[in-house]
Structure 1
Amino acid sequence: MTVPQSRPPDIADGAPSARAEAYTPRFLSQQLLGVARLAAFTLDRDGRVLHWNAAATDLFGVPPDDATGRDPAALLRLPSEHRAAFRPGAFGHVWCGACTVPRADHGELVETAWWVYPIDDAPGIGVLALAADLRHLREEGPGLSMGGVLVAGPDGAARRDSGARLLRVEPALADGAAAPVAGALAGLLPPADPATSIITRRVLDLGCPAVSLSLTIRLPVVPYRGGPPYAPHVRPLAADTTARPDAPVRPGADTDAVREHLAFLGEAGQQIGSSLDHLQAARTLAEVLVPRLADFAAVELLESVVADSAPHFDRIDETTPMRRVAVVHDEPGRWDGVVPEDAPLLFPSSAPFVQAMRAGNPVHIPHVGPERAAELADLCGGPHLRPLFAGRAFLVVPLIARGCVLGTFKLLRKPDRPGFDDLDLALLGELARRTALCIDNGRLYRREVQTAQELQRSMLPDDPPDVAGARVRYRYRPAGQAAQVGGDWFDAIPLPGCRLGIVVGDVMGHGLTSAAIMGQLRTAVRTLAGEDTRPGRLLRQLDGLARRLGDGYLATCLYAIYDPVSRTCTLANAGHVPPVLVAPDGTGRVLDLPEGVPIGVGGAPFDTVQIPVEDGSRLVLCTDGLLERRDRDLDQGLRELCAHLAAAPPDLDAACDAVLAGLGSADPADDIALVAVGFDGVPADDVAAWDLAPEPSMVRWARAQVAERLTKWDLDALTPTIQLLASELATNALLHGAGSIRLRLVRGRALVCEVYDDGADLPQLRTAAATDESGRGLQLVSNLAARWGTHRTTAGKVVWFEHDL
């Protein structure tokens, strides 16, 4: 590509028509009338953007509101050597050039052709800049459409050259082209701006070539149209000695060979690149080479590439481990045992394989003699391999992608076939480059998949918690495609008072971003649930957090709290799939909950619903990946879920497996999360509660009640400790609380003691000095209990502790 970077000689005198012909390409002899979409913007005298048209937004990804008033050099991240052209008065004359700038919205690089005109006679305007996509100019070539701007030569005639694909874009040069060009340029600027006509006239006076392109066209490649590889066409097995030396050569024979090789290259490249598995790409390479180009092919990759467990080696030597990943030959059964696949290899530095990887060039031995055959056999496995090399043509081609060595492949041809010629070497070199990119892309893709899956797995819970009065089982099945790794999450959170929090959510979208958002929301739910927040309030706080984090934080969520003592379930929904409650007799029903809006939308309340649940019933929560398919909507999926749960066995694990087998698929289009909770309740004999009078004598009475209950539960060994801690909490409620006081003991997986009062102030753990009269009660609780905490209730607060049994 040739781009004028300085002022042409004819511009200084303002007489373009006479001298512009001096630098018009001589081979532009045909006619061209084209139109292309031009980005246009003007700068004020301080170099700030005044006007920014729609084409500029499309080209650079910057909206007009974001562009106005900014310096284009910083806005477009222009190269430093081109910035002077956009400073009013700094450059002094028309500038035509090209540079690469990144789009502001997604960072994609845009090759841009520029026309920059200094404007010194329009009020408030210092520069007019026009731009076009250089790749568009290359691809369209002659016959280009250019947003109303006439493409004309210095003499007013259109120009074209269809053979060389060379194009000159000139906003205006001749009197004959001035009228349409003036109208087109005016259309790029604000019509109400009085300076528009001044700018247009100025540009017409300064008319100059915009861009000259000289392109190199790649040789055509026949597209892959499906079916098997190109039919093998083995060249003559030996030279034809019967042909006369003076026999005429068929015209076009070399052209046919090139065309045949290019067709094979295109089809082989399609097959090798059809898999995202880097090892499968290596095997496909060996398969397409035999028998078309060789009688024996083997692909060896670096061990780090095969395992993808370490970075590439900076230095290749005899300590570099390799692995043979593919072997293909035309003698079935002969070499399978002596040249096995998946064999580890170590080659000395003098081996041709190491030399090819070090130099980055093929190693070609046209004829392997007996001594060299013995040497190669020893390198590859032993003397029994000498017949594989002896008398054959031998070629080792390195596999290199993005400057990193990945391995090699070696080829052998039998003596009855011609050796590798220049055309073969060129073809194999191109095929090696394509294959290396496919292998490296597959390796990177697998690493991305593993990263996404590990990220998602690390953010999901491990084993379900073991809590009193409830049984929890999880099932999770990721999407079948790595690109579909999403933000489904679920959790079961033990809460004070033997209660259990259950949450299921689904972040909108897929990919690493959704998985990361899922992790943040799951952490926030666990934090809010630890404060014993009611479901509706928890969803409101989660919604506020999501809106503060960003616009992309959208998710559906369902949160429920099961109380095994009162045998109630409290739920709130934020646009999620409703749960199914299965009664002890096996009948299931979809709970009618207020749907709510998804998390992150805001502006709507989340209503809380409390329902009684029987012992032996089950609550099933899931994400829409289990229910929705192309042939099944959500309502139908819920009906089928109820039917499968009614027929499922009572065991929770078996029920979950039956539901997945009936509704799920082995390769789901979306993540599937399933949580089943069995409600057993806490027996009434394991709960004791007393209402305490708010007077000092109630502490001694409470100690006596606790001792009596612990004796009944055969927990006499815990009596001194539990009495001390319960009396401390009761005393705090008497001194710092308000209203009525209630003490409750619950025997579950641990012994739970709770003290309720109507006060609003939550007690805080602090360090008591030697002379302090208070502050030691919670210190005792913190040191002697396994866990303790405090949270607000509807009417006041509760302070609790747990002691392991």
Structure 2
Amino acid sequence: MTTAGEQRAGEQHAGERPPPGTALAAPADHRAGARPPRFLDQPLLGVVSMAAFTLNEHGRINHWNHAATELFGAGPLQAAGRSPASLLQIPQEHRGAFEPEAFGHVWCGACMVPRADDGEPAEVGWWVYPIEPDGIGPDGDQGAVRVLALAADLRRLREHGPGLAMDDVLVAAPDGSARRAAGARMLRVEPVLGPPGDDGLGTDGSGSGASGSGEADGSGHGDGPLVRRLAELLPAAGTAAADAIASRVLALGRPAVSLSMTLRLPVVPHIGDMPRALRIRPRAATEGGADGAHADGEGGAPGTEENETLTFLSEAGQQIGGSLDHLQAARTLAEVLVPRVADLAAVELLESVVADSAQPAVDLDETAQMRRVAVAHNDEPGSWERVLPENETLRLAAGTPFVQAMSTGRPVHIARMDAAHAARLSDALGGRDLRPLFTGRDLLVVPLIARGRVLGTFKLLRKPDRPGFGELDLAMVDELARRAALCVDNGRLYRREVQVAQELQRSMLPADPPEVPGARVHYRYRPAGQAAQVGGDWFDAFPLPGRRLGIVVGDVMGHGLTSAAIMGQMRTAVRTLAVEDMRPDLLLRQLDALARRLGEGYVATCLYAVYDPVARRCRFANAGHVPPVLVSESGDSRLLPVPAGLPIGVGGEPFETIEVPVEDGSRLVLCTDGLLERRDRDIDEGLEELRGRLAGPAHPLEDTCDDLLDALATTAPADDIAIVAVGLDGIPKEDVAVWELEPEPSMVPQIRAQVAFKLAEWRLDAVGDTVQLLVSELVTNALLHGAGSIVLRLIRGDALLCEVYDDGQDMPHLCHADATAESGRGLQLVSHLAARWGTHRTDGGKVVWFEHRLPR
């Protein structure tokens, strides 16, 4: 109950027109001699909380209670310092009541605002009361609070039926009379307590309040109806506290705010066995029977039945919402309903909801394909599994209660189904004889609707020896259906989000390891144990010019879609920069500069390595990542002393490149910190354990990756895990030929002859003429446009690679030569005859290369 009054506001503004912009607001009408409020004579069937918030002199929110959070979906931190109009989406014509210019009035009205739970429009009633400027606000700040606003969801209030009403809003005046505010709507509100004072009593501290008994109209304090009714509404407080509250309201003429009471609602549940899946304390046995209930339905301590019903709804809601799997939520719904509410429960969801292949439709008919996802009953095991198998796909015939429930959005109740009706329903469902299941039983079909869309239905059946579904059962099942539908839809949306994140991450990671001469690459990736924690770990291996291999492992800070997207950008950037064949430290420097240009959130660790199978050397640069492990052919393992460096995106420090000689048959293992970190060990201990497990005789790289995951990773890792294992085999020396050439014209025919001899030695005479022509073009180009010494290298592998090095800085490029041009056709010829060709810079010059396919 809320009692509110403001004599000053009533006297000052009586007969005045409301300020502009408040067409639906009504100033309070303080009429003397009004009859006692009607709610004093009505039974209290329930208590609905009122959202209460206060505004300072600037019209900004400075107090926000828990009921306001539930109604509007915004917490105290979100609401503090904001205006109600900007926070609550109040219509334009109602905003004037919340502006400082209108703070002297008492207003009431109703408007439509979105609901906090599903975003659907809801009708909300609100009241605005002025507070004395020199009063003490709910937060104890003197002189700051100027307005108290109350709001409530009218639909929720009406659903509870007749009870405490506010068609007559009590306005207490200092003379002790109870007056009514005009224009208020039918509402029920919760008991609230006035602003704290020195002793919680009247202004004189005696608790007597203002003079005047107020007994004549039934609203005074003492032993009047108002105090007696307050004592009934506040059983925990007692008559003395009710008298004090009434005295203070009557003395100050201000509303009472901010006291929440928990009262038992007189709801009567079905008397029967407790559900198997719920943890509800059973009722104590009484003389009325073994189950603790009298034959007439009354038994146990007062309020026991209603408390058990509320406990059932609470426990059932918690268990249904305890899983993020929408199918598990549907199964739990069936389990909690049997046998507490029904003897058989079956849940059918739309096929699109089960597979999450499309958004649930708004309008449904008999063409919708359904899937039965859960069945629970209290008969003998195996009784109904044959006629109602789980995971069965079905189409519902038109005119059945199931289609009717989905089309109308309302439950369908068929009491005591006779044999003829059971036969018609069995025929409509088709396929199996369901008459024994329906005959003589109560059938209740309830739609599952969330966010305005139908997800499916569930049907409940009660045996003939059990009372049919009553009004209380229907209300309880309807409430449980709303909760279950929201849990199922949330699970569906969660699954879709996880699938999107995983698909995004999977598309940005390499599919198959590259096949390059002189190296074998294998990798493993394991996502985090929680699907929502999809992270930014990435890895890659790609061929580089000169038969070299680029290897990268990185870890973007954070988790989720953003990290996965950043990971994809990082991997693409590394591949793009690596084609330029720059040193590893220069590549990380370019990557760091790019990340800082993209934004502050682009922070990642990264380890980049380049393996040269001809020179049998490996170069590394590190940006805050864990170091790699190198295992020799003999089985000795060691952590490579790669300088740690700062992560990508931090900047400020240069990176370093180290070069390590490697022997043929060695193994190189790179990983992310998800493999090493655990609660019982730090990264250093994990690295040492990794090194120890890699030592010893060589095993297949695939087995090595699997063994590391089994030994070092947990079954549900908190972070992603990426492992890259590379076998460093090297290219045999007999497959490589190198010539150092003097930069003079006579070298061209000489090198053609030497290349022809080497191709004959390799038994590649079939491609000899073409390769000699291409070699002469590249050597001539280096002689004319290059500088310094010239080096030619041939490498035999899956293709024949020819590289020409010189010290010049001008990069050749392909151009179009017209019919009269005397030059410019050399690279056109190379581009036409070679399988691939390209150029890249080196530390001292450039390289022009081509590849030619080998004969089969």
TM-score, length-scaled by structure 1: 0.76
Task: Give the CA deviation at 1:607.
Answer: 0.5
Question: Partner residue of 1:341?
Answer: 390
Q: Deviations over 1:47-102 (max 9, x none)?
A: xxxxxxxxxx9955999xxx9xxxx999989767289879999x698799999999
Question: Partner residue of 2:637?
Answer: 588
Question: Partner residue of 1:264?
Answer: 312
Change (3 A) 1:37 1:569: farther
1:384 aligns to what SS in structure 2?
A: coil
Q: Deviations over 1:735-766 (max 9, x none)?
A: 22212211111112221111111111212222
Distance 1:730 1:218 in 2: 96
Distance 1:136 1:640 in 2: 62
Q: Deviations over 1:364-411 (max 9, x none)?
A: 111111100111222344563211111111111111111111111111
197, 218, 230: which one pairs with 2:280? 230
153, 164, 171: which one pairs with 2:190? 164
Task: Give the CA deviation at 1:490.
Answer: 0.3
561, 566, 587: which one pairs with 1:517? 566
766, 775, 793: which one pairs with 2:815? 766
1:697-776 matched pairs, under 5 angstroms: 697-776=746-825
Partner amino acid for 1:395? L
* Larger displacement relative to structure 2 (461-470 or 761-770): 761-770
Distance 2:339 2:633 in 1: 68
2:434 aligns to what SS in structure 1?
A: helix
Partner amino acid for 1:636? E
1:426-437 matched pairs, under 5 angstroms: 426-437=475-486
Is 1:622 aligned to residue 665 of structure 2? no
1:259 aligns to what SS in structure 2?
A: helix
Is 1:675 aligned to residue 712 of structure 2? no
Distance 1:383 1:356 in 2: 22
Q: Is the 8 A contact 1:96 1:211 kept in 2?
A: no
Q: Is the 8 A contact 2:84 2:98 kept in 1?
A: no
Partner amino acid for 2:190? A
Question: Partner residue of 2:459?
Answer: 410
Task: Give the CA deviation at 1:457.
Answer: 0.7
528, 533, 542: which one pairs with 1:493? 542
Is 1:313 aligned to residue 361 of structure 2? yes
Change (3 A) 1:234 1:785: farther
Q: Is the 8 A contact 2:609 2:618 kept in 1?
A: yes
Task: Give the CA deviation at 1:331.
Answer: 2.7
Task: Give the CA deviation at 1:311.
Answer: 2.6
Partner amino acid for 2:331? R
75, 92, 101: which one pairs with 1:81? 92
Q: Is the 8 A contact 1:73 1:83 kept in 2?
A: no
Distance 2:771 2:147 in 1: 81
Question: Partner residue of 1:441?
Answer: 490
TM-score, length-scaled by structure 2: 0.72
Change (3 A) 1:432 1:259: same
Partner amino acid for 2:358? A
Question: Partner residue of 1:459?
Answer: 508
1:439-588 matched pairs, under 5 angstroms: 439-588=488-637
Question: Partner residue of 2:370?
Answer: 322
Change (3 A) 1:357 1:617: same
2:433 aligns to what SS in structure 1?
A: helix
Distance 2:383 2:148 in 1: 58
Question: Partner residue of 2:345?
Answer: 297
Q: Is the 8 A contact 2:278 2:336 kept in 1?
A: no
Distance 2:534 2:607 in 1: 21
Is 1:400 aligned to residue 449 of structure 2? yes
Distance 2:527 2:644 in 1: 26
Is 1:638 aligned to residue 683 of structure 2? no
Distance 2:816 2:80 in 1: 58
Partner amino acid for 2:92? E
Task: Give the CA deviation at 1:720.
Answer: 1.9
Partner amino acid for 1:264? F
Aligned length: 698
Task: Give the CA deviation at 1:317.
Answer: 2.0
Partner amino acid for 1:593? V
580, 596, 600: which one pairs with 2:649? 600
Is 1:366 aligned to residue 392 of structure 2? no
* Larger displacement relative to structure 2 (602-611 or 722-731): 722-731
731, 734, 741: which one pairs with 1:685? 734
Distance 1:448 1:255 in 2: 44
Task: Give the CA deviation at 1:260.
Answer: 2.4
Q: Deviations over 1:327-372 (max 9, x none)?
A: 1122322222122111111111111110011011111111111100
Task: Give the CA deviation at 1:454.
Answer: 0.9
Is 1:423 aligned to residue 475 of structure 2? no
Question: Partner residue of 2:156?
Answer: none
Question: Partner residue of 1:184?
Answer: none
Change (3 A) 1:276 1:250: closer
2:602 aligns to what SS in structure 1?
A: coil
Q: Deviations over 1:614-657 (max 9, x none)?
A: 11111100000001100011111111111111146432112112
Query: What RMSD in Å do the two structures reach over aligned CA positions?
Result: 4.8
Task: Give the CA deviation at 1:213.
Answer: 9.4
Distance 2:488 2:541 in 1: 42
Q: Is the 8 A contact 2:79 2:87 kept in 1?
A: no
Q: Is the 8 A contact 1:296 1:412 kept in 2?
A: yes
* Larger displacement relative to structure 2 (377-386 or 475-484): 377-386
Distance 1:88 1:36 in 2: 14
Task: Give the CA deviation at 1:483.
Answer: 2.0
2:376 aligns to what SS in structure 1?
A: strand
Distance 2:91 2:189 in 1: 36
2:504 aligns to what SS in structure 1?
A: helix
Change (3 A) 1:248 1:344: closer
Question: Partner residue of 2:184?
Answer: none
Q: Is the 8 A contact 1:41 1:130 kept in 2?
A: no
Q: Is the 8 A contact 2:97 2:128 kept in 1?
A: no
Distance 1:565 1:483 in 2: 44
Task: Give the CA deviation at 1:314.
Answer: 3.7
Partner amino acid for 2:351? E
Q: Deviations over 1:527-566 (max 9, x none)?
A: 0011112110010111111111111111000000000111
Task: Give the CA deviation at 1:313.
Answer: 3.0
Distance 1:218 1:441 in 2: 31
Q: Is the 8 A contact 1:394 1:412 kept in 2?
A: yes
Task: Give the CA deviation at 1:572.
Answer: 0.2
1:508 aligns to what SS in structure 2?
A: strand
Q: Is the 8 A contact 2:537 2:720 kept in 1?
A: yes
Task: Give the CA deviation at 1:168.
Answer: 8.0
1:801 aligns to what SS in structure 2?
A: strand
Q: Is the 8 A contact 2:606 2:624 kept in 1?
A: yes
Identity percentage of aligned residues: 60
2:756 aligns to what SS in structure 1?
A: helix
Change (3 A) 1:410 1:61: closer
Task: Give the CA deviation at 1:316.
Answer: 2.0
Distance 1:408 1:563 in 2: 64
